[in-house]
Structure 1
Amino acid sequence: MDPLSITAGVVGIVAPTLHCVRLLVKDLQNIADAPDAVTALTNDLQSVGLALAAIQAITDPQWKSLGEAVTAQSKASITCCQTSCKRFKTSLDCWTRHSTDGTLSWRDRATLGVFRQGHIKSMSEQLQNCNITLTSVASIATLHSSLQQTQAAEEIKTMILTKETAVNDAIVATYDLSAEISAQLEALILAEPDEDETDADQTSVTKQVAMEKKALGESLKVFEGLLLVIQTAAANAQAGQGPIVTFGSHNRGQQVGINSGTISATFGGRG
């Protein structure tokens, strides 16, 4: 697939996803006496909105520096976020159908306060993971610009190693959370509904947890792709090649300049 079309695909999905996030934030903020879990969810959505805005700011050369795999997986991760936000908005409209003027009826408050807690918690976790994933992508893409202004090879190595540590930590945390979510999903599938909980309630949270598991899988692929990008840069920076830093593979990509005749940084890779 043409790398430019992949990049365009990411750019094309960000704006509608950001729109979905903002609509959901507006709906949640219109609930004047929302439970604490709903308020926390609003904050998570706002954080994702900032992360999506950072993704929008990534330039074509920066996407090329990340490579086709990371770009495609970033799109998949954003798509999961958009799907979840749309589904949650539909559910929220149903959960608050007895309320008017932003004030929860006692019936809807009971629903949000008890039966939907699992759904809301799962959605919050998914948004938090999405925020970390997209922020990592934007941060490492920005390394493209930072290296152009770096004056010392040691500073380059420090920057790269810092990013490598952060991504490694994110991979470990994602693996751990994925294992927890898999166990939770299995328990939900086998469990009988609690007293006063309908089959629809249980189905709702089960679908959300399943979506969270899928989103974690997409994020893991993004992190693994970012780690490969960083490790390639680290290996080249530390090898006996001089202070050359290459992002991507097979020695193709955007040449970003030579600094003082001693530092050359190349981004990109041939698929």
Structure 2
Amino acid sequence: MLTLFTMDPLSITAAVVGIAAPTAHCVRLLIEDIQKIVDAPETLDSLKEDLLSVEQALASLRTVSDAQWKSLGETVVNQSKATTTVCGKSCDRFRADLSRWTRHSEDGKLSLRDRAMVGFFKQGCVKSMSEQLQHCKITLSSVVCIATFSLQQTRVTEEMMTTISQKEAEIAESITASDKQLAEVNAKLGVLCLAKTEHDETEADRASAISQVAVEQTVLSESRKLLAELLSGIHTAAANARKNQARVVNKFGSQNEGMQIGVFNGTMSCITFGKK
């Protein structure tokens, strides 16, 4: 169940924006760092696309109103802030790694040394970062979608019911995927801890790779908690929507007489025929 707010609802949006804005700045800085590498490897180009998707999700997050945040509940707000914060920290960490990996390059062109075959740990860092960004994007986009739809609709159409059902399925699928990826991340951490450095890698690369995957583990855990809370909320929305869908209000003309029924599914009671 969604929780009620103990904080002043007027401060909700300000609090979320206060978290989202710095994270968006971190994302933008990393995008710019990658763009400066004119001959960037394909893996980094793909990472840039993930970053742009997260940037859009963060921009959408800042459009959610106080009333919409309140309808989602305080737990969703707090977990959204936690997910956003971890994403920003991860971008900062990856920027530091990228700077170290390209320290022998100048003018945006990778030196032969830096462009040498990317080793096991560096590949792991890029892949881990990409997965973190994708989880952040999916989770925040789900928050925005449900907030925009609003969990307090009073007039429900077939289109709304379809949207609710689709979102239920999407979130449930994301939770299942998160569980699977958490298991994979746990196994990955074990492999990294036992792996030996390759000829072109340092202990710093090894430590960075392990740290990056540990952050991915945190991102997945926070994301799963948030998705579970959203799924609970969307279940409540679906139940309320089905109740509201059964309610039909008919107006019987200016004189309030006669009987007009189109397509009706539900129980009829307290019917009065004739004039008021």
TM-score range, shorter chain: 0.7 to 0.9
Letter in 2 for 1:193: T
Give the secondary-structure state (helix, strand or coil) at the position aligned to 2:114.
helix
Aligned to 2:30: 24
* TM-score of the superposed pair, with normalisation by structure 1: 0.83
In 2: Cα distance, 1:28 partner to 1:113 partner? 19
* TM-score of the superposed pair, with normalisation by structure 2: 0.81
Structure whose alpha-carbon radius of gyration is higher: 2
Once the two structures are overlaid, the 10-residue window that deviates more, 108-117 or 198-207, is: 108-117
- 1:112–1:25: structure 2 CA closer, same or farther, 3 Å change rule? farther
Letter in 2 for 1:163: K
Aligned residues of 1:95 and 1:112 also touching (Cα < 8 A): no
Aligned to 1:206: 210
Letter in 1 for 2:187: A
Letter in 1 for 2:35: Q
In 1: Cα distance, 2:245 partner to 2:144 partner? 28
What's the CA shift for 1:241? 9.3
What does 1:234-245 align with in structure 2 at a 5 Å threshold?
Answer: 234-239=238-243, 242=246
Deviations 1:14-59 (A, max 9, x none): 1111111111101101100111101111111011101111101111
What's the CA shift for 1:196? 3.8
What's the CA shift for 1:114? 6.0
Aligned to 1:174: 178
Question: Which structure has greater strand proportion?
Answer: 1
- 1:76–1:37: structure 2 CA closer, same or farther, 3 Å change rule? same
Aligned length: 242
Letter in 2 for 1:31: I
Q: Percent identity?
A: 51
**1:139 corresponds to 2:108:** no
Letter in 1 for 2:75: A
What's the CA shift for 1:200? 1.4
What's the CA shift for 1:219? 0.4
Which residue of 97, 107, 126 maps to 1:101? 107
Letter in 1 for 2:20: V
Aligned residues of 1:58 and 1:141 also touching (Cα < 8 A): yes
Letter in 2 for 1:138: V
What's the CA shift for 1:194? 3.2
Deviations 1:228-270 (A, max 9, x none): 11111112233599559xxxxxxxxxxxxxxxxxxxxxxxxxx
Query: Unpaired runs of 5+ in structure 2?
Result: 1-5, 249-276
In 2: Cα distance, 1:235 partner to 1:115 partner? 48
Aligned to 2:93: 87
Question: Which structure has greater helix proportion?
Answer: 1
Aligned residues of 1:129 and 1:219 also touching (Cα < 8 A): yes
Aligned to 1:70: 76
Q: CA RMSD in A?
A: 2.3
Give the secondary-structure state (helix, strand or coil) at the position aligned to 1:73.
helix
- 1:31–1:196: structure 2 CA closer, same or farther, 3 Å change rule? closer
